[in-house]
Every structure is written in structure tokens, then in C-alpha cells.
């Protein structure tokens, strides 16, 4: 079996071809940087017939813009989407491991079912990634309404260290929208559709929850739930089949787990779990009742045990060290293209990407429908001296040879300098050396965000701060920062793993989410909303929630064994100082109808993320009024520029000013079943509507939006002085809006 020869690809170096699927070729790759920096990753090269489809490429780019915004420990990170010559590619995080389908298949081959605790842990990690994606907001705070749409075992990757990561957010959507149904692209995915998806109805994030429920059911029972003889038969089973309780097939499944699975698989979306977070919470309670000391380290140990032979083959066969000679030879093959100096045989029915030593989890379904490939290079070129002289007798042949040899020479020099071994391998003193000692497989080690293996002497850039993080499961055990001198070598011992037996469970939610959690002053690995499952019982523990722009929320708890404590904290915005000025100066300033002083006014305290009406008045000038909202990046100075009243306007100014100060009405509005309400680009109220919202007299256009129904409706309204405008819009029907006007009550 011939070895894949590394080839350059833009700023990347393709080290090994892993697989070929319906959409892309999958490569293990490497990129280089200054100071000996290098990083392994996955490159997916879009196949030519997709690259020629402009509609597909446009959707791919749009979806990649979404995927690159998803940064979570349970989601495969997308680094880059680009185009080199005529080839589009995606650069993604490399996960050394297998997909969930491979784990299930290997377990069945070894005639052992996955223990329930492993299944529960994997699904809870899936739920964490889904919940993050479903709740993701854009830079303006608007929900992005991300739906995976293709939750299935090939899109769940599990590393040999026990990490669980979701992949292909949005990419599956691009494929389905294009309607490409070639074998290997969509085949097999119908079995994980929700009933509403199978019926061709609009879907929301609860379709992902249903698909997750299917995977949970199949992992508990060892059987397929909806797979039929054909895609049509599969879809019919999804729409009509009653789901049996997992315990009817596997008696080891506890009754409370049956109830969770069946609720996740409810045909009625309103009866399902309404968020992945809710499903995760229920499964976590069962997990820590079944296995209170379970961590990702145990899943990693299971993976290394099941795939021991494959890992040994991978370690034996993988040699990705590059030298200048290797690069020169690679460039020669790349430039020649197999036509002049080498011939490439693509018919060999074996491949380094399909053997037992090449089981690297790539990212997405394209890697799952593999096609045998080969990179056998033949050096029997058949070139004879007479052929060479005949070529030289042609002017075009001479010019072609000169161009080829010039390209080879320039490429060799450039790549040799680019791939010069790191400074530490040259004996350069610009690096320090770090060794981390740990005998506990449950301890994860990150150096500057990259996972590291204990016991290895690693070069790091000297005279630069580096962060080392030790974690166990979801909990950060310790953080350290080090700065090494050139040539300095140190050894650091990892902290001992905490015993997780007989521990308590705490569920933390915050509004807004994303707050940093401190447990007795130490940062937890995951922000809110999160479940903390490794707290020692029967002692006081201080939990703090920190988020920029908000006051710190704090609570002291005393957890008990078997008890679940739930804390939902509404964070209070921080107060900030602003300056209010007027041009000209010495005008009177009113905030929310209350006089606060003359301009200029410095260090006036207001709360972030709240609406304030600022009015500025000065005799001889038209009143100035504006509603403002201060965000973290809003300038802290507010300037009101007043307009002087002309002599012609002076006669009616007194009467007009009275009207302007009091010409306000009120808006009460809501959508059915629910809706976000927008006034221009600004969202007002919450999903339950808005009540007694104060607006100046005039005409306005409201937009009612329900992302779950994918419905938007615009409504024109009138606000009258001291009147209440009442609006009800039913987005589940096409009925006209119900608009009423009433006299406003006392405020």
C-alpha cells in the first residue's frame, strides 16, 4: 500500500487523504506560523461538480458564516472557508477519534452494548452543543434561530479523549436545499427526521430534539427505530409508527429514562422538550444517579479500549514530519501533474484513507460514505533519450521545460524556507521547554487552548505568557500562567483528580445566559446555562455569576446528596456614568420626565441595557427629546443640539410646546401564539408582547415575528394623544390584525 505524499494547498499542507464523499474530499492537514508554530486540522475540498453550481456555493458561504460564529466545546470549530484556484474548501477542527455511528457499529461487532452511563453522557454532551446553537444571538442581540437539520450519528464525533462534538451545522441544509440526492449525500438521513420534517412542514429547533431522541433510543436498545426498506417507507414509519419504550427491548433501562425518551420522541411538538437544555437537565439527573463519578475520561477510556487496534495502527503508520527534501519532491509531483514525469494509478482498490490505520474523524457526512482511493506513484515513466531529443527539437517543448524547471526551483527554495524545522530543533535559544506530568487519564490538559499529552517535552515560545488549564469533565481544576526564558526547561505536575462519588447536582440558569460561573472563587469550565454535577455535599459553597455589563449575582448553597438545586438568576444591569450636554449650554435636562439638572451634566448614573427618555429644554429653543439605550459600546456622552425658534414661529411656540410635552399615547400589543415585536429595527417587550409602551403621537409600522412558525407580519398603527392602541396579531392564521383604540388609564 503506497503512502500518501504530502502536497501544498495554499497556506496549508495536505498530509493525508482520509476519505472521499458525495460533497468533498477530506484531508488531514497542517498549517505553519512563526516561531515554529504548527497546527493540525481538517481540510474539506468541495468536489468540482458542486463548485460549478453557483447557487450551492452561495448557500455554502452563507452557512459557513453562521458556522464560524459557533464557538463551543461540543461543536467542531470552523476556521476558514476559501477558494484556491478553482477549488472551494473549508478548514475545520481535527477530532482524533470516531463518529457515533462507528462507535455503535464497533460495539455491536464486539458483541457488547454501550453501557447506559456512556449513552447518557454522550447525549447530554450533544444537548449542550445544540442548546448553545439554538440560543445563539447575533451581534445585535437578535436570535439567529439556528437549526442543525441533520442530527444523526455520522454528525456526532467522539474523540479518543472522550470529547463529544457536533459537526456540519448548516452544511446539511445547503445540500438539502440544493436537492442533490445522489447516493452517499442524503441516503440514510431520512431515518433521523422529525414527523413534521417528514410531512414537509416548517420546522424549528425541536426537530433537532426529536432526532437526538432517536439516537438515544437506538443507543439504549441496539436497534434502528424508523429505518425502512426504502426512504419512502422510512418516512411513513416516522409519521405513523408508535415508539415502544426502550425498556421493552432492553430491561436494564430504568423507567424514568423511558419517560424522558418517549417525551423527546413525542409526535406533537408542543409535548416534546421545548429546549435541548431541558432534555440535558433530565438526562443529567439520571446519569449521576446511575454513575455519580462519571466523567469524559471514562468515555475516552472506553474509546481507547474499543478502538485499541486502530489506534496502534494509526500511531504506527502516521508520520507527518516534513523536511525540505520531502517538500521538494512533493512540489515536483504537484507541478508535473502526473503527465510528464510521473503517472498516477487511480484504479487500485485500496487506500491509505480506508485502511485500519486511517480512522481519523473528519467533519461531516461527506466523510462517512467513503470511496476507495489510491495515490500509488509509478516511477516507470517510459522516457527514452530519443523522446527527450525529439521534445527539444520543438520550440514549445523547450519553453515548457524551462518554465517547469523554473517553477520547481522557485517552489523548492520558498517551501524549504517556509518549512524549516522549528527553532528548538535547530538548537536556537528562542524557545523554552515545558513538560507536564500527569498519571490520571481523567485530567485534560490545555496549553494556550490546544490539547496536550502529558509526559512529552514540548517547545514553547520564550518570553511570552502561556496559559495552562487542567480540567476534569466540565470542571476547571486549575489555571496557571507561565513565562519561560530562552532555553529554560520546566516540569509541571497536574493536580489530582477530584473524587466525584457522592456528589450533589446544581442547575444554573441566568437571564441573559453566558455568565461566567465561579465556584468558591474558581472558574467553572462552562458558562450559564449549565449543570454542575461535582460539588461536595453538606458544606457551604459560594456560587457567583459574572457577566460584563451586569452586577455580580451571588448565592451560598449547602447541597445534599441526591438533591438537585436549581438557581435561575436574573442579572441586574450595571450602573454607568454618562455626560449630558447641550448646545447651547445651560439648558434644563429631564430624564424620564424628571428634572436632573442644568447642562452640562457630568457623571449622571444610569443602568445599562435600559431605555431612557432624555428631554432638553431652553427658552427660545424648540424642545429636544430622544429615547436612548446604552449598551457596552455606546459612547458615554450624549449631546443635544437645540434649534432656535424663528420670529415667525414664536407666536405659536407657547401653544405648541404644551402640545409637544403631552402628545403621547400608549401601545399594548401581542402575537398569537407568541411573537417578537419590532418597532423599526428595535425589539420592544418580550415574546409575550408589550404593555403600556409610551410613544409620541403619530403613525408607526410594527413587525410581528415568530421564528418557530417562520411567520412575519407588518401592521400599520396610529398612536393618539392620551389614548391606548391595542393590537393583537394571530400569526397562525391569515386573519387581519385586531386593532382597537381606547382611552388610556391613569399612569
Provide the pLDDT for residue 215. Answer: 94
Give the contacts of 604 (CB within 8 A, at least 6 positions apart).
577, 578, 579, 580, 591, 596, 597
CA nearest to 365, candidates 180, 108, 163, 88 = 180
Q: Where are the domains positioned within the chain?
A: 95-317, 425-493, 504-570, 575-660, 663-743
CA distance 591 to 611: 10
Does CATH number 2.60.40.1120 belong to domain 575-660? yes
CATH assignment of 95-317, given 1.10.510.10, 3.90.25.10, 3.40.50.150, 3.60.20.10?
1.10.510.10
Give the Cβ contact number of residue 632 at 10 Å.
10
Give the contacts of 484 (CB within 8 A, at least 6 positions apart).
432, 433, 434, 460, 462, 463, 466, 490
Q: Do β-strands 78-84 and 38-46 pair in parallel, antiparallel, or remain unpaired?
A: unpaired
CATH assignment of 425-493, given 2.60.40, 2.60.34, 3.40.190, 3.30.1340?
2.60.40
User: What angle in degrees, to the nearest 10, is found between the helix axes of 116-135 and 276-290?
Assistant: 160
Whether the CB-CB separation of 148 and 208 falls below 8 Å is answered with yes
Cis (ω within 30 of 0) for the bond into 584?
yes
Give the contacts of 114 (CB within 8 A, at least 6 positions apart).
103, 104, 107, 219
- The dotted CATH code for 504-570 is 2.60.40.1120
pLDDT along the chain (747 residues), means of 10: 76 85 82 77 85 76 78 88 86 90 84 83 94 84 84 92 85 44 44 83 88 93 83 79 88 91 91 91 87 84 86 64 38 31 29 39 40 33 43 56 69 56 48 85 81 84 85 70 87 71 71 86 78 74 88 87 78 86 90 86 83 87 85 82 72 43 78 86 79 85 85 89 88 87 62
Give the contacts of 212 (CB within 8 A, at least 6 positions apart).
123, 126, 127, 130, 151, 264, 276, 279
- The reply to whether domains 95-317 and 575-660 share a CATH topology is no
Provide the pLDDT for residue 185. Answer: 36
Provide the pLDDT for residue 636. Answer: 84
CA distance 535 to 541: 8
Provide the pLDDT for residue 176. Answer: 40
C-alpha cell belonging to residue 177:
436545499
Whether the CB-CB separation of 359 and 98 falls below 8 Å is answered with yes
Provide the pLDDT for residue 424. Answer: 41
C-alpha cell belonging to residue 706:
415568530
CA nearest to 311, candidates 160, 93, 157 = 160
Give the contacts of 601 (CB within 8 A, at least 6 positions apart).
579, 580, 581, 589
Name the phi and psi angles at 143, rounded to 5.
-60, 135
* 3-class DSSP assignment, residue 227: coil
Top CATH class of 663-743 equals: mainly beta
Q: List helix spans (H) across 189-307.
A: 195-198, 206-221, 231-240, 255-264, 276-290, 296-306
Model confidence, pTM: 0.51
Give the Cβ contact number of residue 268 at 10 Å.
8
* 3-class DSSP assignment, residue 719: strand
HSE of 537 in the Cβ direction (CA atoms, 13 Å)? 13
CA nearest to 194, candidates 148, 158, 248, 258 = 148
Cis (ω within 30 of 0) for the bond into 261?
no
CA nearest to 631, candidates 515, 544, 550, 516 = 550
Q: Please, what's the largest Cα pairwise distance for the chain?
A: 107
Tell me how far apart the terminal alpha carbons of the chain are, to the nearest angstrom: 83
Name the phi and psi angles at 121, rounded to 5.
-65, -45
Helix (H) or strand (E) holding 649: helix 647-662
Region label for 289, one of left (φ > 0), alpha (ψ between -120 and 50) or beta (otherwise): alpha
Amino acid at each position: 500500500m503506497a503512502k500518501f505524499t504530502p502536497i501544498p494547498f495554499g497556506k496549508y499542507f495536505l498530509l493525508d487523504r482520509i476519505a472521499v464523499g458525495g460533497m468533498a474530499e477530506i484531508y488531514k492537514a497542517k498549517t505553519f506560523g512563526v516561531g515554529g508554530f504548527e497546527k493540525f486540522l481538517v481540510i474539506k475540498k468541495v468536489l468540482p461538480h458542486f463548485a460549478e453550481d453557483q447557487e450551492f456555493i452561495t448557500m455554502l458561504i452563507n452557512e459557513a458564516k453562521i458556522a464560524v460564529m459557533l464557538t463551543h466545546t461540543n461543536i467542531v470549530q470552523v476556521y476558514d472557508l476559501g477558494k484556491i484556484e478553482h477549488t472551494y474548501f473549508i478548514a475545520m477542527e481535527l477530532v482524533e477519534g470516531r463518529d457515533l455511528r462507528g462507535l455503535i457499529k464497533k460495539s455491536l461487532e464486539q458483541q457488547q452494548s454501550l453501557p447506559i452511563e456512556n449513552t447518557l453522557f454522550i447525549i447530554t454532551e450533544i444537548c449542550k452543543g445544540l442548546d448553545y446553537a439554538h440560543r445563539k444571538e447575533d451581534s445585535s442581540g437578535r436570535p439567529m434561530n439556528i437549526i442543525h437539520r441533520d442530527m444523526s450519528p455520522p454528525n456526532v464525533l467522539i474523540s479518543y479523549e472522550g470529547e463529544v462534538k457536533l459537526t456540519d451545522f448548516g452544511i446539511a441544509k445547503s445540500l438539502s436545499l440544493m436537492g442533490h440526492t445522489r447516493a452517499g449525500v442524503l441516503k440514510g438521513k431520512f431515518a433521523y427526521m422529525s414527523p413534521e420534517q417528514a410531512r414537509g412542514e416548517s420546522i424549528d429547533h425541536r426537530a433537532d430534539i426529536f432526532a437526538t431522541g432517536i439516537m438515544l433510543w437506538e443507543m439504549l436498545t441496539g436497534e434502528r427505530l424508523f429505518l425502512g426498506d426504502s426512504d419512502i417507507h422510512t418516512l411513513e414509519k416516522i409519521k405513523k409508527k408508535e415508539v415502544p419504550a426502550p425498556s421493552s427491548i432492553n430491561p436494564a433501562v430504568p423507567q424514568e429514562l423511558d419517560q424522558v425518551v418517549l417525551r423527546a420522541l413525542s409526535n406533537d411538538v408542543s409535548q416534546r422538550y421545548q429546549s435541548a437544555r431541558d432534555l440535558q437537565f433530565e438526562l443529567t439527573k439520571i446519569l449521576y444517579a446511575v454513575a455519580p463519578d462519571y466523567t469524559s475520561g471514562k468515555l475516552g477510556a472506553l474509546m481507547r479500549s474499543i478502538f485499541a487496534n486502530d489506534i496502534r495502527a494509526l500511531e504506527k503508520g502516521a508520520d507527518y514530519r516534513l523536511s525540505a527534501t520531502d517538500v521538494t519532491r512533493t512540489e515536483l509531483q504537484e507541478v508535473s501533474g502526473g503527465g510528464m514525469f510521473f503517472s498516477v494509478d487511480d484504479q487500485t482498490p485500496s487506500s491509505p484513507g480506508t485502511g485500519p490505520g486511517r480512522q481519523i474523524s473528519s467533519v461531516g457526512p461527506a466523510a462517512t460514505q467513503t470511496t476507495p482511493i489510491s495515490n500509488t506513484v509509478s516511477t516507470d515513466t517510459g522516457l527514452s533519450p530519443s523522446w527527450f531529443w525529439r521534445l527539444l527539437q520543438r520550440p514549445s517543448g523547450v519553453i515548457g521545460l524551462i518554465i517547469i524547471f523554473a517553477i520547481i526551483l522557485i517552489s523548492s527554495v520558498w517551501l524549504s524556507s517556509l518549512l524549516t524545522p522549528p527553532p528548538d530543533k535547530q538548537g536556537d535559544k528562542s524557545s523554552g521547554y515545558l513538560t507536564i506530568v500527569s498519571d490520571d487519564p481523567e485530567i485534560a490538559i490545555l496549553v494556550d487552548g490546544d490539547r496536550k499529552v502529558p509526559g512529552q517535552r514540548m517547545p514553547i515560545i520564550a518570553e511570552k505568557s502561556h496559559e495552562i488549564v487542567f480540567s476534569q469533565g466540565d470542571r476547571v481544576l486549575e489555571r496557571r500562567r507561565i513565562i519561560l526564558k530562552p532555553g529554560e526547561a520546566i516540569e509541571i505536575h497536574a493536580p489530582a483528580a477530584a473524587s466525584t462519588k457522592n456528589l450533589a447536582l446544581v442547575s444554573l440558569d441566568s437571564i441573559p445566559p453566558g455568565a461566567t460561573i465561579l465556584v468558591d472563587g474558581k472558574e467553572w469550565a462552562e458558562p450559564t446555562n449549565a449543570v454542575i454535577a461535582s460539588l461536595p455535599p453538606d458544606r457551604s459553597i459560594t456560587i457567583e455569576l459574572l457577566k460584563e455589563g451586569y452586577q455580580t449575582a451571588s448565592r451560598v448553597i449547602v447541597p445534599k446528596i441526591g438533591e438537585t438545586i436549581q438557581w435561575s438568576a436574573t442579572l441586574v444591569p450595571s450602573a454607568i456614568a454618562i455626560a449630558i450636554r447641550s448646545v447651547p449650554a445651560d439648558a434644563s435636562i429631564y430624564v424620564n420626565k424628571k428634572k436632573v439638572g442644568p447642562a452640562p451634566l457630568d457623571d449622571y448614573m444610569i443602568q445599562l441595557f435600559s431605555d431612557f427618555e432624555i428631554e432638553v429644554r431652553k427658552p427660545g429653543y424648540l424642545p429636544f427629546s430622544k429615547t436612548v439605550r446604552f449598551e457596552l459600546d455606546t459612547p458615554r456622552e450624549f449631546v443635544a443640539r437645540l434649534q432656535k425658534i424663528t420670529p415667525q414661529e414664536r407666536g405659536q411656540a407657547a401653544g405648541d410646546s404644551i402640545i409637544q410635552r403631552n402628545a403621547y399615547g400608549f401601545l399594548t400589543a401581542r402575537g398569537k401564539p407568541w411573537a417578537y415585536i419590532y418597532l423599526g429595527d428595535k425589539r420592544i417587550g418580550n415574546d409575550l408582547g408589550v404593555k403600556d409602551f409610551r410613544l409620541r403621537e403619530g403613525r408607526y409600522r410594527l413587525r410581528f415575528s415568530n421564528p418557530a412558525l417562520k411567520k412575519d407580519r407588518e401592521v400599520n398603527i396610529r398612536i393618539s394623544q392620551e389614548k391606548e392602541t391595542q393590537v393583537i396579531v394571530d400569526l397562525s392564521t391569515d386573519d387581519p390584525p385586531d386593532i382597537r383604540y381606547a382611552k388610556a388609564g391613569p399612569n
